[in-house]
A and B are shown apart, each in its own frame.
Chain A
Amino acid sequence: MDTANEKPRLVLVGNGMAGMRTVEELLKLKPDMYHITVFGAEPWGNYNRIMLSPVLASEKTVDEIMLNDDAWYAERGITLHKGRRIERIDRVNRRVIAEDGTEAPYDRLLLATGSDPVMIPVPGHELEGVVAFRDIHDVDAMLAASRAHRHAVVIGGGLLGLEAANGLMRQGMEVTVVHLMDHLMERQLDAEAAGMLRGSLEERGMRFRMAHQTETILGEDRVTGVRFTDGSEVAADLVVMAVGIRPNTALAESAGLHCDRGVVVNDTMQTYDPSIYAVGECVQHRGATYGLVAPLWEQAKVCANHLAEYGIGRYEGSMTSTKLKVTGIDLFSAGDFTGDETTEDLVFKDAARGVYKRLVLKDNRIQGAVLYGDTLDGSWYFQLMRDATPVADIRENLLFGQAHIGDSGHGDEASRVAAMPDEAEICGCNGVCKGEIVQAISEHKLFTLEDVRAHTKASNSCGSCTGLVESVLATTLGGDYSDAPAKKPVCACTDHSHDEVRAAISRDGLKTMDAVFEALDWKTPNGCHVCRPALNYYLLAAWPKDYQDDAQSRFINERAHGNIQKDGTYSVVPRIWGGVTTPAELRAIAEVAERYQVPTVKFTGGQRIDLLGVQKTDLPAMWRDLGDAGFVSGHAYGKALRTVKTCVGSEWCRFGTQDSTGLGIQLERMTWGSWTPHKFKMAVSGCPRNCAEATIKDLGVVCVDSGYELHVGGNGGVKVRATDFLCKVETEAEVLEYAGAFMQFYREDARYLERTAPWIERVGLTRVKERLVDDADNRAALYARFLESQEVAQVDPWAERAAGHAAHEFIPIRPVDGPPKGPRPEVSA
């Protein structure tokens, strides 16, 4: 039988979430590489173990938490042995042997044996009615007990114990939770939050024996009670042991694989036997073991990559966060919150609303977070923690959360996701309601933000509802699940992050896209619509004079130099320097609009004129006519310098302190044509009345009598953000230098499609100040690099195309429904 198939054989021991996720990731990479055999000790297909709590609480059924049914395995040609526990690994002959004698040979073996519940070996622990809380079998036993009996004792006041206790209470039992420590969930919660949690559980009727140690479980055949070391007793018909889990290493140990607390693996998830890999709760990696799902996902991805023999990607350990799956109780915890003399506490407490938030800061970074009652910002804090983002600049607002300055589209709904009705709109761009997202999550077994985006389109456009969608995901999944891996790859074509790609481009002198694909082992032959525009930008920014811009890697707007509209027509926005124009210019625009029958003429928010509804074939001729009148491209379509908005300033305004229009025009003349990670807008206001709205721009100049205030990182779009004050300068020349240097720093440092506002929040204003304000040499160098790149950037793309460049972009091939009309025209550009 081993010669029947020439494909190498992969055997998976453990039909749980980690192992099967690895198989699924592998199938995505190399669907036909292996003949796959799966052994599972439990008699079912693969199910979502983190959903056992909702099953116990009757909020879900077992069917609803199944991930893959028998048909799924069959369709993929996977041999599934359910209910067969592997007893032995014969490493010499590379085969596994099950209890019932079933054997399977392997070329690669994947161990995902998970973990076992810890049973405290007190007298009576083997009595009938003493169970763990680990699998469907345990849940069945608990549900059966709840129908026949009344008193339940749960030993262990941790995450699992409280979820079990809540479920049993929901089944009508009287539940006492026994805990060794004097506060609940001591590994996830501080005393304050634990007290609030205990209070609300007590209100629901749960009883507690804190700081109690179990001495004996009482009973003859079936359990009747529990006695503690202090001599007190409590009656019990059911005892649930939920004191922890222990990696299941028995099989690996018996095969002589190196185990410590878990099966020891390296960063590629390989055990000490190179043909044996291990993932999930059974492994020990860099000294750590994991009992939550997010790390398993990361491990699965890495392991699959190596099984597929791509050999890229390392698992570097995970930072985990916790949420309690008890309906109506919002609790989030992440990181280390013990605190000492080197840490600082930020605490918010509103007892009446039942809200408690504590952030522990160390060295200006979040080290731990405990949230109770309002956990919406949990994923944000977690992100800040994982990215080690300096928080000095945002600490005064930190506890109020990410949304407190008004995201457009979903105003003040931004809390209490769990309490929202199903009709509540979550994604205002794509009109996706909470109910649709919840349904998609259950129906399609979604686990990640990316999955939800793909299936529902929620959070797929402007992204402002990302936090809400993550919350829906967390509340629906119950979520000790936490969002994405620490390092986000650019896209599915690579495992490298934006920062890694950028670093490689400069470090290794990569000057073409193919060189990047080659050097960084891109998985696709020519990338995709996500990575190609990013790479094109990075290459252009790194090598302004060497890199040949790749039109086919630009989004259509930047390729056609106009904004595509929903009907496939384009819009044309001529540049109007500083928003100052003349009757002659206006007349020229009006004539062009009439000549080309432009259906809509509109003023933009940036003081420019938008000609909407232009046929693509008309663009070059229109640009020629506009060019003849002195106009150049307004770049309203680009990730580029957009506009410099101005007020009239000292030339006319009785309050104006400086020549804001003149300065705005100088700024725009200097910076136009520059490509940036995302669009870049500026404004110059002539006095602090700020009529040009400079404080919601990427760079805003506010003139004052004694000089110019420079403000950076503002945004008036999806997420309103007022600028941060950068510094004050005295002359126009300094304004120009700082503006150029700031743009260049942004161009070199931010990730593609990252506006200045999130970029500054990520890297910290302090860092920007250090490079720009404190370090004059660096500022001068940045400014010089900016001006150098402008030498080649300030070529009007409209003039080039009006002269025939890239004609194929604008002229269709001849129509095919009749004879050719004349000679084949200018198609080969």
Chain B
Amino acid sequence: MSWIAICHLADIPPLGARVVAGPQGDIAVFRTADDRVFALRDQCPHKGGPLSQGIVHGERVTCPLHNWVIDLQSGAATGADSGCTHAFPIRVTEGQVWLDLSAAAADSDAAPVVDCREAG
């Protein structure tokens, strides 16, 4: 694990998201109503829509392009849709948000959309 400090919790609006420019593309960092954070590759498994721009509800985000609903924990599509986007380890300590991209870095040769079972 190599944790990188990316921002403060207060930088992300509740039920909102921010974008982190990662080495292999954007990463969406979400904050739920009860202040938990999640990080997903900012690409819907459907047509690559920017999930960071979606509406966050419960532990899910709805893609702004075609309303796929993605689970924030696993990155997997919910309901009748199937597909998955990579989820990154993320945590908050004392208001500081930390992101771990080491798994993604190790996978740097892999296709941009990584098997979501690796998600923490």
Q: Which A positions have Cβ atoms within 8 angstroms of B? A: 444, 454-455, 457, 460-461, 524-529, 532-533, 551-557, 559-560, 564, 566, 568, 808, 812-817, 824, 827-828
Binary interface encoding of chain B residues 33-73 relative to chain A, with 1 for a CB under 8 A from any of its CBs, else 0: 11000000000000101100111111010101111010000
B58 touches A526 (CB 8 A): yes
Known A555-B64, A566-B47, A812-B20; 9 more pairs at CB < 8 Å = A529-B62, A532-B57, A552-B13, A566-B49, A808-B18, A816-B101, A817-B22, A824-B7, A827-B7
B55 touches A533 (CB 8 A): yes
A454-B79, A454-B80, A556-B64 as given contacts; A813 in contact with B7, CB under 8 Å:
yes
Q: Specify which of B18, B58, B66, B80 is in contact with A812 (CB 8 Å cutoff).
A: B18
Give Cα A551–Cα B13 distance, bound, in whole angstroms.
10
Nearest CB on A from B90, distance (A): 12
Give Cα A560–Cα B17 distance, bound, in whole angstroms.
13
Nearest CB on B from A481, distance (A): 20
| B6 lies within 8 A of chain A by Cβ | yes
Binary interface encoding of chain B residues 1-29 relative to chain A, with 1 for a CB under 8 A from any of its CBs, else 0: 00010111011111110111111001101
Q: Specify which of A552, A568, A808, A812 is in contact with B55 (CB 8 Å cutoff).
A: A552
Closest to A527 in B: B57
Give Cα A815–Cα B26 distance, bound, in whole angstroms.
9
Give Cα A816–Cα B99 distance, bound, in whole angstroms.
9
Closest to B26 in A: A812
Contacts of B101 in A (CB 8 A): 816
B22 touches A526 (CB 8 A): no
Contacts of B34 in A (CB 8 A): 525
Interface centre among B7, B26, B80 (most CB of A within 10 A): B80
B22 touches A816 (CB 8 A): yes
Give Cα A525–Cα B21 distance, bound, in whole angstroms.
30
B53 touches A552 (CB 8 A): no
A529 touches B58 (CB 8 A): no
B58 touches A813 (CB 8 A): no
Nearest CB on B from A589, distance (A): 25
Nearest CB on B from A202, distance (A): 44
Closest to A456 in B: B80
Q: Specify which of A551, A556, A808 is in contact with B53 (CB 8 Å cutoff).
A: A556
Closest to A454 in B: B80
B11 touches A827 (CB 8 A): yes
Contacts of B57 in A (CB 8 A): 524, 526-529, 532
Give Cα A454–Cα B77 distance, bound, in whole angstroms.
12
Closest to A440 in B: B80
Contacts of A533 in B (CB 8 A): 55
Query: Closest 8 CB pairs between A and B?
Result: A529-B62, A815-B21, A454-B80, A817-B23, A529-B55, A552-B15, A556-B53, A812-B19
B19 touches A813 (CB 8 A): yes
A812-B26, A816-B99 as given contacts; A552 in contact with B54, CB under 8 Å:
no
Q: Specify which of B12, B14, B65, B69 is in contact with A529 (CB 8 Å cutoff).
A: B69
Contacts of A553 in B (CB 8 A): 15, 55
Q: List 24 A-B contacts (CB under 8 A).
A: A454-B79, A455-B80, A461-B66, A524-B58, A526-B15, A526-B33, A527-B57, A528-B60, A528-B62, A528-B69, A529-B54, A552-B15, A552-B16, A554-B55, A556-B55, A564-B53, A568-B50, A812-B18, A813-B20, A814-B21, A816-B20, A817-B21, A827-B18, A828-B10
Nearest CB on A from B16, distance (A): 5
Nearest CB on A from B109, distance (A): 17
Give Cα A552–Cα B47 distance, bound, in whole angstroms.
23
Give Cα A461–Cα B4 distance, bound, in whole angstroms.
40
Closest to A569 in B: B50
Nearest CB on A from B1, distance (A): 14
Contacts of B15 in A (CB 8 A): 526, 552-553
Give Cα A551–Cα B15 distance, bound, in whole angstroms.
10
A552-B13, A813-B19 as given contacts; A560 in contact with B47, CB under 8 Å:
no
A529 touches B19 (CB 8 A): no
Contacts of B27 in A (CB 8 A): 816
Give Cα A412–Cα B109 distance, bound, in whole angstroms.
51
A526-B15, A812-B18, A812-B26 as given contacts; A564 in contact with B58, CB under 8 Å:
no
Give Cα A140–Cα B36 distance, bound, in whole angstroms.
58
A525-B33, A808-B13 as given contacts; A532 in contact with B55, CB under 8 Å:
yes
A564 touches B10 (CB 8 A): no
Nearest CB on B from A620, distance (A): 15
Contacts of B64 in A (CB 8 A): 555-557, 564
Nearest CB on B from A614, distance (A): 14
B7 touches A556 (CB 8 A): no
Interface centre among A455, A460, A527, A812 (most CB of B within 10 A): A812
Give Cα A554–Cα B13 distance, bound, in whole angstroms.
13
Contacts of A552 in B (CB 8 A): 13-16, 55-56
Contacts of B8 in A (CB 8 A): 828
Give Cα A525–Cα B35 distance, bound, in whole angstroms.
13
